Structure 1
Amino acid sequence: MFRSLQSRLFLTYLLVAGLALLFVAASLLFIMLGSTFGDQRVYLNLERSLPIITRGQGRLLLELEGEELISTIERMDQISNARIIIVSPQDKVLADSRSTESPVTDDVLQQSGIGQEIVRGRFGEPGDGVWLYISQPLVQRFRIILASPRPTLMNLRLWWDSVLRPILQAAGIALFLSIFLSWLMSRWVAAPLDRMAEVSRAVAAGDYDQRLQPGGPQEVRGLALTFNEMVERVQAGQKAQRDFVANVSHELKTPLTSIQGFAQAILDGTAQDQDSQQHAAQVVYDEAQRLHRLVEDLLELARMDAGQIDFHQDRVDITALLSAVVERLSVKAAEAGVNVIHNVGQLPVLIGDGDRLAQVFMNLIDNAIKHTPEDGQVSIWGEYADGWISIHVEDSGVGIPEEELSRIFERFYQLDKARPGGMDRGVGLGLAISREIVRSHQGRMVAQSELGRGSRFTVQLPVVRADDTTLAADRV
């Protein structure tokens, strides 16, 4: 019956309200049982009866003796509904209208004779019955005591009439309101969760356009925002997967088409002379190399995504590493007519995988040379501040449009899609791989560009990382 969250919340709120009312009722009952409210009413009734009994009859009572005195006070007892006890100056009971009830103790007799005013008190044991009494002197040091049983039931009736009944009526109204408010509260909490379950089923069925409107308690609103963010990421992941498949298919199709075409030319004799056959074989080889690079890059990205690449943790002299990379690309830069300015200076040694970092800077400097026109310039410099090494690679090319700058690290994204094929043509994975390598070193890679003035790529690497087992030295 109480399987849904709303019904359980409703029951919980109802139990809390019921327990609160029960606690209040128990507290009132405890207070009522310990209250002297009923006792005060008994004392007042006795004090009102005392003048009626003693007025003009105090001396007369003292003139009576034995059975006549007892019968007289018994008649007065029936009229006043109060136990009457006559006490002698020697603190002895001369007559008791209810002698079969709990006897008056000596200490009560002595205490009742103190002073000339009315004395209040009680005697008897809870098991035998407790009596409330008042005492007043008569003549010649005789005293009269009026007593009445302590009214437990009367207390209940008084509390019921004056306190409990109004409180129970208010409690009934409060209970009704608590039931209604409990239903509203449980609905307020459960409704967003029900909506979340509905949207979750829709997302599971492939509808990624569904979103939740934050509502309900703060925790539920936070859960809704997190859920929306999760759906957006799943949607982006699904789109990236579709784009990835489309891009891979396209990148595979182009070289395979070239390979198939030129291989067919060799087979059917279209390439008859030796030069034609040599050209066809060269195209087949170049496209096969391109396919090989593509497959290697895809495998490397897949291993990075799966965390299956082990990066070596060695001391890396970043200054020497950059000098070696520039030296390897110097011939290519010279052929392209690009001036490479290398002004890194001496930088601290860091901990990392030197081969992987060399791959990053090889890619960045190679891209800078490709996108710099003849007689242009590529500048490489570095700096160290606050525990971070920053390496800047800047070219003087045409720059990157602002709307495309945020996408250059996407896989298979290429700025110059019209660039002719061949060994130098990439597939848009170099920057993606480079950024993953930098991230694996707990670093950052950012790009800045201005149309007509060129682009700058900055790699920031920590000199000492949290997971280093060996601290890097400040200098070589």
Structure 2
Amino acid sequence: MPRPALRLRSFAVKLASVALIFAVVPVLLYLQLETVENQRNALMLRLAQEQGKLVGEALFPLLEQFSPRNADRIDPAVKRLAEGGMSVKVLFRPAPATGARTFLLVASAPETGPQQARAAMDRLVDSGVLAHLAASCEGRAPLAVRLAGAQEGAELLTYLAPHATRLGCWVVLTAQPTGTLPEQVIGRPYWQSPDVQVAASIYLLMAVLVLSILTDAWGNLRRFQAVARSVIRGESKVSFATGNRVPELAETAAELDSMVATLKRSERLLRQAAEENAHALKAPLAVISQSLEPLGRAVPAGNARALRALELIGRSVERLDGLVSTIRRTDETIAALIDLPRRRVEASTLLNRLGRGYIRMAAERSIGLDIAVAAGLQVSGRDEMLEVIAENLLDNALDFSPPGGQVAMRLREEEGMALLRVQDNGPGVAEDELERIFERHVSRRSAGQGGDVEHYGLGLWIVRRNAEAMGGRAWAVNAPEGGLEVSVALPLSD
């Protein structure tokens, strides 16, 4: 599978994406809702101001005709216009007077009584509205000023209409109780409204729950990974059930522990069976081999047929003994694949030492051995498994290289892996056989290759099995200049 597809399926990527969505979506929704709410609030404020304007327009004709004889007509008119919750105040400042304190409260609704009228005037003075009117009593200006009351509560001044006459300056003020208007109109941000805060609390709780579920699952997978690494390293007293923190994964953790225990038990039984079978078979073979010697002395020298039969029996016994040893190695290799505790292996040091030992062997066959090992490389696995990999590769390369040939062994770091390459200049392998040579009991040696030692086609099979047991891989290609190149990539140690 391509790496980009793997990244898209990554738990971490999905968790980060969910967190980003939870962070961005509420911001976008809030901005949209705030825009709509601001438009609605502006419309409501405009409506309140238009209502105030109508009140002012209705009162101005009466104020133009004001005289002591018709003064009692103002108060009923103000109370009638204030029905529906609106607050209306009519102020008057005589023509010669100046200053904010010179305004007189002529009529007010719904306030009644001297004390309420005095409190209303104090609120107007404290808010600075009267000071503004004292500076200029010309024109009409819609306002939105919050007036705080000690007992009556807060209200919003929505319209202010100064009107000059020959007697002085009349002012009509209209206000709305803050409880009848949106929160934003009276100076509170949209995010402070109760509906938004409740919705944000529910959304935040949902986000925390979803992210906590994903975080717990991810954390549990990481703990399972740590336990698996401990199992691979051969550490005792490690358990998936102990590392589990999610109750729903308790059964899964228990099954994983059971699987690990079964694998370890199978590994022990396989090693035990390999040892017992080898011992059981080698004992009678040894008896047969020892019995052939007196038989050979008892057979007359002229009985060629009997001597030939004894020779064949001897060779067959040797072959059987080699097969038993090979089968034991195979079983032990398979057992190692089941349960292989990994340790840090000084790959550079081990391969340098092993390569120096093969230089003399190569020289005896008139073959050159070129070793280039990068210093300081460490892999995760077992010393003996890496040694078997290198020995089998070098043995194969020397067996297939003709006298005067050259074998090269290279070790370097590549893409976070330790890459071991062994190349010969022998006949190579057919392209369709490059994978088959890693199967069991597959050998492409011709007569004379490998000396007098009989081979059973297990060398490269063991190389690949050991590489995979150490978390790596092995493959082969035909070198461009001729010969076979076998590569083994092993993970570097943490």
TM bin, normalised by shorter chain, reads 0.3 to 0.5
Q: Which has the larger radius of gyration?
A: 1
TM-score normalised to the size of structure 1?
A: 0.38
